[in-house]
Amino acid sequence: MKRLHVHVAVDNLEKSIGFYSTLFATRPAVTKDDYAKWMLDDPKVNFAISARGARNGGVGHLGIQVESDAELRELAGRLKAAGEATRDQEATTCCYAQSNKAWINDPSGIRWETFFTFGEATSYGEDEPAAAAKPQASCCSAPAAKLACC
């Protein structure tokens, strides 16, 4: 079973935790000093927020979380078949988790992350620069600032 993933950059983590906890009628499943995550079943979504330095607020990226590495490989294969440049990451640490990932930007530049999480981590870790996920021939380049994941 797949789960939609949405990551939002926020200015005030505590205030945002209060807002989303009220919206979802539950507290986050994971709370850190700079990050919170809700694993919701209705709707089936992994919704994460983070306050990770100087970034614009709003949607950081979208994604699909899968339940096995085989499911990730199948989904990553479909992304590659879509004709956009992809970037694979193996055993990466991001959002206090260990995951295998495949990243892609859609034709409009929206970042998508597909991932299989297989363990926890004690540090936030880092995502790839936004520009690394963009096809080299793109006419629109994103800043190379690091963006949060998960």
Judge contact between 95 and 39, C-beta under 8 A. Answer: no
- Burial code (b: 16+ CB inside 10 Å, e: under 16) for 28-58 equals beeeeeebbbbebeeeebbbbbbbbeebeee
Judge contact between 13 and 31, C-beta under 8 A. Answer: no
What confidence score (pLDDT) does residue 81 get? Answer: 86
**Tens digit of pLDDT for each residue in 10-19?**
989 999 999 9
Residue 5 is inside which H or E element, if any?
A: strand 3-9
**Tens digit of pLDDT for each residue in 101-114?**
999 888 778 889 99
Residue 16 is inside which H or E element, if any?
A: helix 13-24
Position with higher pLDDT, 106 vs 20? 20
Distance CA 36, CA 129 (A): 21
What confidence score (pLDDT) does residue 136 get? Answer: 31
What confidence score (pLDDT) does residue 150 get? Answer: 52
Distance CA 74, CA 109 (A): 22
What confidence score (pLDDT) does residue 55 get? Answer: 60
**Tens digit of pLDDT for each residue in 47-91?**
999 986 646 778 889 999 999 999 999 988 888 888 778 899 998
**Tens digit of pLDDT for each residue in 100-150?**
999 988 877 888 999 999 998 888 787 654 444 443 332 222 333 333 445
Structure tokens given for 77: 């294969």
Given CATH 3.10.180.10, say whether it is the number of domain 3-133: yes
Contacts of 54 (CB under 8 A, 6+ apart): 145
